Structure formats: C-alpha cells, structure tokens
Amino acid sequence: MADSSTLAARLSTDRPVFDRVLFGVALLGALVAVHLVIQQGRGFDRGCLGFSEPAAAQQASTFNCELVTQSGAGTLLGVSNAWWGIGFYLAVAGLSAGAAFAARRRFSLAAARAALITGGLVYSAYLTYHQFTGLGALCALCLISAALALTLFIVQAVVLARPAPQAASSADSSPEPASSMTPSSRRRPALWAGAALALLVLVGADVAYFSSLESPAGEPAAESVAPAERTASAEAPSENASSENASSERASARGPAAAPSPGSPSASGADTTDASLPPDCRFAQGQEPMKASQFVSFGDPVFGTSDAPVTVVEFFDPNCPHCKTFNTTMKNLTEQYGDQARFVYKPIPLWRRSVNQIAALHAAAKQGQFKAMLDAQFARQQRGGFTDEQLAEIAREIGMNPDPMLTQIQQGAYQQQIQRDRRLAKQAGVSGTPAIVINGRRVVLPTEKPSTFTLQSSTHPMPAPARTAGDPDTSALEPSRFDPALAETTIDTIRVLAVDAVEAAQSGHPGMPMGMAPAAYVLFRKHLRHNPANPQWPNRDRFVLSAGHGSMLLYSLLHLTGYDLPLEELEHFRQWESATPGHPEHFLTPGVETTTGPLGQGFANGVGMAMAERILRAQFGREQFPVIDHRTYAICSDGDLMEGISHEAASLAGHLGLGKLVYLYDDNDATIDGDTDLAFSEDIPQRFDAYGWHTLSVDGARDLDAIDAALTEAKNETERPSLISVRSQIGYGHPELTGDPSTHSDPFGPDAVRAIKERFGFPTEESFHVPEEARSHMREATREGRRREEQWEKLKARYADAHPEAAAELDRWLNRELPDDLSACFPTFEAGEEMATRKASGATLDEIAPEVGFLIGGSADLTPSNKTSVEGREDFHRTNPNGQYLRFGVREHAMAGTMNGMALHGGLRPYGGTFLIFSDYLRPSLRLSALMGQPVTYVFTHDSIGLGEDGPTHQPVEHLMALRAIPNFTLIRPADAGEVPFAWQAALENTGGPTALALTRQGVPTLDRSGAALADADGLLNGAYVLSEEDGDAGPDLILIGTGSEVQHALGAAETLRDEEGLAVRVVSMPSWALFDAQPEAYRRRVLPPQCTARVAVEAGVTPGWARYVGAEGRAVGLDRFGASAPGATNMEKLGFTAENVARVARDVL
C-alpha cells in the first residue's frame, strides 16, 4: 500500500491526460446539474429527463424526479442538491484546470480535488441509497450525476494508483513541481477554453430550448405573473370559495388601477381558449389571468386529454366537507368531458391535520390509486383527520403498498410540492375550497350549492350534466344581498382594528376577530335590531360575545355602528381607565350586554336573557301588541363549548324550547394548546341535536350569503334554539399563520402587521385607519335603530291606551320598582317556635313574591329542601311560558349563569336555590354577578354542620368566609325566622350587586322580641345590631357576636355569665358583614365600642377573618376542620357550639 510520500508524489506529478479527463467529466456533470435545475423549475412536466411527451410524463413510473428532489434528502442546508451539484462539478473542473496550469500549486490543488471528489461520491452514494431504499422512486438525472461522480472517483483512483513517471520526482522525492511548460503544453489552453465554451453553449441551448418549449396545451411555459400585492396574501387559503372574489375585487378597487379583466386584450398572457360558464357561475374579476401551464406540473393527478383546449384545476382539502360534496361533480365532469378537457387535482391544506392526508394522496397517485385514495378519504371524512395508521389501513384496502407511502409521509417527501401548490393557489386568488380554475382564470362557484357547477367550452360545446333529484335550479338563485367590495372593506376594517389594537397594547387576542369578522358583520348589518344611540332600549336584540377574549371584534363593531365608543378608546385598548378592557365588561362599555372572558359564562347568560324575554313576552304581550319581542344572539367558541356550564345551559335551553336564541359557533379547530383534536372531538351539531336544538352549518366564515341564510332560517325556527356552526380560520389574513392556533393571542409584530394591511389594502404606516365608506356603511345602524325604537315607543303608547294596567305594571317591572311598604306583607312567626330559617324563607317568598311580581326564581332540583317555590305559581316551561317558577335541574352552574342573564336583561329579579356546599359549583358565575353588580339572589340552605347525617361532603365549613371574600357581594345569615323577611328586604333593596341568604336546615328558636329584652329584627338591615343590651350605663365588659343558628348560643352564654359572674354582657347579632361595614363609622362604634376589647365571636365555620371584629385580644368559636356524619344536634355539641362552651371561652378571654 502506498505511503503518504508516494501519494504526494503522484498528486504532484503533471499528468495532463488525466487532468483533461477529469475536467471534461466535471463539465459534463455541471451540464447535467443545470439540466436538473431547469427541469425542477418546470415541475418535471416532461418527465425526469425533460424529453418525454407530457401525457406520458403524468403516468405513474418508478422514475419520479419530483418526488426525489422534494424529499427530505432533496436539499442540503436548505439549498437544492441540484445547485450543490453545479457547484461541485464546477469546483472539480476549476481545480483540474488549476492543477494543470499552476505547476507550483499542483500538489495542494490536486489534493483538494481528490478530497472533493471523494466527498462528492460519498454524498452521491447516500442519495442513491435513499432513492432505492427510502422513497421507492428514482431520479434519472440524479443517477446520471451519481454515475459521473463515480467516474471522477475512478479516474482519481487511477491517478493515485499508478506510479509517477521518474522525471516527475526529484532525488529526494520532495513534491516540487516542474518549473517549465513544454511546447505542447502551451497549446493546451485553447483546448481547455474550448471545452469551457462548449459547456456555456450547451447550457445556453438547454435554457433557450426549455424556455421556448410549449406546454401540452399549447401555452408558453410557466412564468412569474404574480403581482406583489397578491404575493402578500396569506399562505393558507381560507374557508369557502363562494365569496372569495370579494377581497380581490375590493383590493383592486382600492389600488392605483383596476386590473384588466381576464378576457380583455390587455390581459397579457391570457389563454386564447376561453370557457363560457353557466349563469350560476362567473369568472373572478379584478385579477390577472395566469397561464394554464402554471397549474400543471409533473406528479399532479391529471385526468382527461393532455392536449385538450380546456384545463380545469380543482384546489381542495380532503377534510373540507364542501369538497366532499364537490368531488362527485368533479368525477362526473371527468367522465363526461374527459375527451375535451384535462382535469388537474391540487390538494392544499386548510388545516394542519390535512398535510399527511395530502401526502398520502400524492403517494397514491404515484401508484395509480389517486382516485381510490381520494374517495376513501372523503367517505371516511371525520373531525380531526386521519392518523398515519388509518391512512395505512385505507392504503391496504385499496390495494396499495402502505410502506413506501408511510416512509414518504414521515420524511416529508411531498412538503415542497404541497407548499408550491399553496403558493400557486394564493397567486390564483384562491381563498377557500373547493376552488376551480379554468385556463388560468378562477371561477366563482354558486353560493348555495357549488356541487351544481357545470362546464362548457366555447370551442367544444358540452351539455351540462343532468341534475339529480333534489338539486336546486341554481340559475334562479338570488344575487348576493351584500355589496362585495363594501362588505369586504368593512370586514377588513374590523380585522385591521383588532390587529392594530393588540399591537398597540402588546397584548390581546387578534386571531378570533380576524376569523369571525365576516359572520359578526352579517349579524350586525342584517339581523341585529339595536339602537346604538340608546343601549338600554328594552326591546333591543341582545348580543353576547361569549368568546370574550375576542373583545376587539365587539369593540370594533360598537365603534363602527355608532355606540358611544370613540376611536380613541380603541387606541387605548387594555389600558388604565379605558372603556376597552381586555375582556368585555358590562358596566364599563356602552353596548356590552354582559361581562365575558371566563369561557362558557356568556353562553349561559344568553340562555338567561332568552328566558327573561320569554317570560316577559308571555306576561305582557297582547294580541297586536308585542311590546316585548326580541332575540338573543351570541358568538361562542370551541372553548365555550368545552366548559361544563355550556353543557348545562344548552341542555336547559333545549328543554325549554327557547326559539328566540341564536348562537354562532366559531368552529376554527384552534385552542391555546394547538388543534382542538388534542382534547375535543365530539360532533358538535349532533350534540346540540341531542339537546333539542336546531342546528345549521356554514362551511366558510367568508360566505356572507350562507351566513345570512342560516341566520334567517334560525330566526324562522320558533320552537327550538339554534346553533349555527361556522367553519372559520383563526388569524385569517396573517401572511404565514392563517389558521394556526398560535394566532389566538399576542401581537403579531410590525412585519406581519404590515403584510396584513398590504393584503387588505390598508395604509401600512397608519394605525387604526377606518375607511369612511366602512364607517358610513355601519353607522346606518344608528339611524335604523332610532327608527325601530320610535316605532316601539308608538306601539307601547297604543298598548298603554288599550291595556293601561298592564302597561303600568310593565313599566314597574322594567324599572324594578318595589312596593312602597314591602314589610306590610311580611309573615309573622310565633315566638319560641323551633323553625328552620329555610322554612321561614319559603313562607316569606309566598307573601312577597306575588307582591313584587318580577321576583322570579327556582331551584337546582332542591325545591323541597330549599323552600324556593311560591304558592300559586306554575312552572315555566316550553308549553307554559306564563309560569313563574324555574326548574333548573341539577345544574347549579347554569342556574347562576342564566340568572345573571335574566338580571342583565332587565325586568326581572331572579333568585335560585341550592345547598350552601354547592355554591362551589356555581362560584364563577356568582363572582361575575358581583363583578357586574347584578341584583341576583342566591338562596343557600343547609348552611352548617347542623344539617346532620349527610356528613362532611355536604356540610359547608369554609364557604361563609369564602363568599365574604368576594368584593361587592352581600352574604346574610339570619339568626332566626324573625330576621328572614328583613334578609329578603335587604336582598331586594340591594340593586348594585348579588345577595346570598345562608339558611339552616335544622330548627332554631324564634326569638321573642315582644319585650325590651331583645331588639327588633329589622336591625338586620344594618348588618349587625345589639340584640341583647348589657345592664348598666358603664358599657359592656364583654361582647358576644353571633351569626345565624349560633346566635342562640351567644344569648345562652350571656345569660350564664350575667347570672354567675355578674358581668355586663352585650350580644350582637351580625348576619351580614357587608351590610355592617357599609354603615357609618359612628353606628359601628356604637355596636362594637372600641373600649371593650373582650370579644368572642361564634359561628359554625372557619375562624380566619373574625379578627377584624374581635381584635387581637378576642377569640372566635368556630370550626377549623371538616364536620362529621351524625345528627345535627350531636355535631353542634361535640364540636363546641353550645352556650356552655361559649361561656367557657369568654371566661378565658376575660
């Protein structure tokens, strides 16, 4: 084996023949690599070598250069291997020339050449191995290149293997090159230059030939015709093609000049063969046509006649339900017109889950099974797409070998092709699927039913396929009710306002407003009856944005339609004291009907609003006088429908048949974690069908007419609530992330914002730009709203003339006016009687509810226990809307959420009952009652361990303190039956927030207040009062504070301490901390004089918090542990709630 010195000598030796051979082979390799680049740019439309007939090039074959070059091994460091090949061969040629002419540097140049050739061969061998074993497909040009690399290596090996001529080495074998050039060598430069010139000539000829080569249909080869404004559009197409033209038309109208129409002479590059369309279709306007050849590349599934004058291209997504319907049409067209047109299938992913399915379609096409795979995927179309295992199962069923397909999917073999088709769709103006392009011109499909699309050619007349039974006559379809350009301008204004606001705040959620802007536009423009000049108009339609994170959608609409929300407030989105908080807040922003953000809450609020409307309509509606008659609309999200409260509220709404409730479901398949199929896969329409809802679906959020039609149909359904599932794309318009869950929240950054504005035709350097035409368009809502309210006022005046008593009562209900002397109807209770405060509450309701009238409520399936029914009232249900008792079922959370909605609606004061322990089930809604300041009354019975044998699972311990911790929330725990009516009075007089009554299951003595010993029960209205005064004028030695059922033990302990110790003991009943803290300081000091620091509080609950009243020197008798399953009296005794134990603790304090 030669040593290093020998190899050095052989590399240093001048061997002109070998140098010329290596130079020549390298030039040939460079030519092959250039040819590969040219064919790759053409999409291998004429096969691997570029010399096949186009029809033959589309046939399945072992040789598939496109698949190989697009595979994971088709690039190195992000650069195509074809370009690396050019560089490799030119480098070898250069080093060979250098070694031949630079004699003094021959050794280093020859050594570098040897190393480069060896590395090139190794990489070429790897690529060849990958083709045979990984892809199951071969690239002819790649194999030729590999053979040339092997040739270079063999020649180089011969150089290293042959001994150097004696003259080439010095005596000491040092690698010193010859210093002179022989006469013959001086003739070599011409030969080398001639070879290099020949390469340039061949490359030029290759480029010229394929640049001038006509496509199979006779069109020139592909060339770039995409204007910059088109290429700024989002990579991912949007939802539905039936209205996709509106954006391009509007953008063109806003631009410097409208684009020439596709058929005009100025539309350079247009195909000479035109296609006439049926009356239910039209070519998209305002966009330059492209060449049909641009839509056909090697590897595309192509059917029909290759040299036909008409080329029909379908862009589709295998997960799009509309595409599933349209697939039958494409198959029929292919069968009927296969001899007159060629049909090209272009699968593009609207959703990320579609990518693997599309790769499977391409793999099936290579095995001649494209249509079988496509039909199978459409037949099994399911939410969430298919796993690789499911795709393999389909492959086996249709006779495919799944192994190469899975390998290709896993290696991303078709990623470049998929991306290329997406870019092509974007250039063609495609923004949804299915989309049809005929001879380079995009077709706008029928709105109502694209599957009725027919094809005709002016050159080859083709009769339209016969319609199947049930297909509508689309030629008679009504035109769109929307001005496409004006609608798109307005919709894009909403989107851009959301983007600008989030960018300015550097926080927020832009994705949802961008996706649902079209649906919200249709609702506000065509269906919502409201008066922006008077957000409190009683008979307005209610709109709830349950997906409250998309608040900029609502703020934009409120500003545009004329509510008192100036643009400056949008500019201060999420800032201190702005009227545009991060999530909508009812009490802060005009036009916001409810506070949303915690998902699912708005869903339940809307149900409550619909319930209130139904109750008031039944109560006050008269023939010819629908004084209360409106609808409730909402937009809800995937997250809303995941939350448990939506299940409860939807079930209740369906049971009640709330026909004036219409929800738009933003079905965008996106959550914060990623695609919804990570954790959410049920069929939403079927779920709501089971609830008894009327369900509709709109395949694309941009299909304005379909949304309009769905809303109209929903309004015509009077017996069931309606859910309209709207397929949308989150972040629609983002240049790279349309449809990506990452657009849910956070600003996009200046580059993306600029690209979005360019896409929608907005000034890139101006923020919060509102086109005047969009503002004027939407401000028509103010004029229309005033007109509607004036008509209602006239109706109400006629109603008052015809039914004066009912009209007066309606006004009282709407204003929630209580009777002048509510206490006059209070029940009385016999002193000394053992009565549970829940029973006293039921007796009070029986008396005051009929007097108040608008006090309406029920229980979460605990009516006998909560005592919440009202004598003489019937149940409210779908067949009895006049009923005024609400059966919420075992749905505590929905009960609270719907009560919020009823209170927000106005005209009612709702109440609802359950056990205090289950306040945990409804706490999120209760908290929002407080946040919104809504006068909801919660009746919480079984308020302590005194409930007995049900045990600690049902015995509240921490709940009293937890409820007191909520701001703007009033908790009242009456001591006896005598305090209960005043507790209800306090609740009804509290118009600025919710109130909860904590009531006992067990009986407590009704205190005898007839003498001077005990104060009157109306002291409850102050929150705390001196129930039993101490003897003497010196002030108390000790203050005992009690709440609820424990007040009796405070009284017993006081009597003992007075009798046995002679102490001046004061007993304070403190049913409500909140009411007491609201009293003047002078009153609070009279009840709890500061000089008396010996204080003991007693309450059957946890003790943290009592220090604020008993002070550092006082004590609290409470329960800082869970209860036990035993009779209530036993629990109370064993756990220290007795007069004796309270007296003992008091002595310790003293």
Answer yes or no: are the C-beta atoms of 574 and 665 closer than 8 Å.
Answer: no
pLDDT in tens, 115-163: 888 888 887 887 777 666 655 567 777 888 888 888 888 887 777 766 6
CB 1097 within 8 A of CB 1073: no
Q: What is the average pLDDT value for the chain, to the nearest integer?
A: 83
R_g of the chain computed on alpha carbons: 41
pLDDT at 277: 58
Residue written as token pair 């190469």: 404
Does residue 222 surpass a pLDDT of 60? Answer: no
* Res 480: pLDDT: 56
> Residue 66 burial by CB count (10 A; 0-12/13-18/19+): exposed, middle or buried?
buried
State the Cα–Cα distance between residues 595 and 657, nearest whole angstrom: 25
Q: Which of 17, 164, 16, 141 is nearest to 89 (CA)?
A: 141
pLDDT greater than 70 at residue 968? yes
From the CB of residue 189, how many other CB atoms can be counted at a distance below 10 Å?
12
Distance CA 140, CA 66 (A): 11
130-139, 393-402, 1132-1141 — which one is most confidently predicted on average? 1132-1141
The two structure tokens encoding residue 875? 């149940």
Whole-number pLDDT of residue 260? 32
Give the CA distances from residue 852 to residues 855, 888, 910, in Å, rounded to whole numbers and listed in that order: 6, 22, 12
**Averaged pLDDT for residues 433-443:** 85
What pLDDT score does 457 carry? Answer: 31
- Find the range with the poorest average confidence among 349-353, 704-708, 790-794, 989-993: 349-353
Q: How confident is the model at residue 44 (pLDDT cuts 50, 70, 90)?
A: low
Q: Which of 503, 789, 892, 1046 is catalytic?
A: 892
Three-class secondary structure assignment of 361-422? HHHHHHCCCHHHHHHHHHHCCCCCCCCHHHHHHHHHHCCCCHHHHHHHHHCCCCHHHHHHHH
Between CA 434 and CA 325 the distance in angstroms is 9
Residue in 374, 414, 426, 379 with CA at minimum distance from that of residue 395: 374
Has residue 486 got a pLDDT over 50? yes
**Type of residue at 43:** G
**H-type helices in 803-912, by residue range?**
804-815, 837-852, 863-866, 892-905
Which pLDDT belongs to residue 383? 67
Q: For residue 552, give both structure tokens.
A: 């900029």
Strand pairing category for 1038-1042 and 885-887? unpaired
Cβ count near 580 (within 10 Å): 28
Q: How far apart are CA 531 and CA 540, in angstroms?
A: 7
**What domains does the chain contain, in order, with CATH numbers?**
4-166+190-212 (1.20.1440.130), 233-262+273-463 (3.40.30.10), 498-782 (3.40.50.970), 822-1005 (3.40.50.970), 1021-1149 (3.40.50.920)
Name the strand (E) or helix (H) holding 632. Answer: strand 632-637
- Both tokens of 245, joined, read 């033209």
Question: What DSSP string describes 182-212?
Answer: -TTGGGHHHHHHHHHHHHHHHHHHHHHHHHH
Tell me whether strands 885-887 and 661-667 are parallel, antiparallel or unpaired. Answer: unpaired
The mean pLDDT value for 581-586 works out to 96
Q: Are 959 and 984 in contact (CB under 8 A)?
A: no
Amino acid at 175: P
pLDDT in tens, 1031-1040: 878 899 999 9
CB 359 within 8 A of CB 418: yes
**Within 13 Å and on the Cβ side, how many CA atoms surround 559?**
27
Q: What is the pLDDT of residue 697?
A: 93
So what's the pLDDT on residue 1019? 97
Whether residue 930 contacts residue 994, with contact meaning beta carbons closer than 8 Å, is answered with yes
| Tokens describing residue 760 | 């929608």
- Separation of alpha carbons 618 and 820, rounded Å: 26
pLDDT grade for 992, boundaries at 50, 70 and 90: very high
Count Cβ atoms below 10 Å from residue 530 Cβ, excluding itself. Answer: 26
pLDDT digits (tens, 9 = 90+) for 406-416: 888 887 878 77
Please state, in angstroms and rounded to a whole number, the distance separating the CA atoms of residues 218 and 210: 14
Q: What is the pLDDT of residue 175?
A: 42
The 10s digit of each residue's pLDDT in 85-103 is 888 888 888 877 777 776 6
Mean pLDDT on 622-626: 92
Return the pLDDT at 263: 34
3-state SS string for 133-187: HHHCCECHHHHHHHHHHHHHHHHHHHHHHCCCCHHHCCCCCCCCCCCCCCCCHHH
Q: What percentage of the chain reaches a pLDDT higher than 70?
A: 81
**Dihedral of CA 967/972/973/975: which sign?**
positive
Q: How confident is the model over 208-234, as a mean pLDDT? A: 41
Q: Alpha helices, DSSP H only, in 953-1033?
A: 959-964, 980-989
The helix (run of H) or strand (run of E) holding residue 609 is helix 601-620
Nearest CA to 116 out of 162, 153, 148 is that of 153
With beta carbons less than 8 A apart as the criterion, state whether 675 and 632 touch.
no
Query: How many Å apart are CA 387 and CA 1050, to the nearest integer?
Result: 69
Beta bridge partners, 1095, equal 1039
* DSSP code of residue 994: -
Tokens of 807: 């009209």
Buried b (16+ CB within 10 A) or exposed e, 1020-1050: bbbbbbbbbebeeeeebbbbbbbbbbbbbbb
387 has pLDDT over 70: yes
571 an active-site residue? no
The CA distance from 947 to 1127, in Å, is: 8
Which pLDDT value is given to residue 255? 35
* Buried-exposed string 630-649: b where 16+ CB fall within 10 A, e elsewhere: bbbbbbbbbbbbbbebbbbb
1064-1089 pLDDT, tens digit each:
999 999 999 999 999 999 999 999 99
Coil, strand or helix at 1134: helix
The residue-averaged pLDDT of 564-570 equals 96
Q: Which residues contact 910 (CB under 8 A, 6 or more apart)?
A: 608, 856, 857, 886, 898, 899, 902, 903, 936, 937
Judge contact between 420 and 433, C-beta under 8 A.
no
The number of residues in the chain equals: 1150
Give the mean model confidence (pLDDT) for residues 521-525.
96
Mean pLDDT (whole number) for 1042-1053: 97
Amino acid at 1096: V
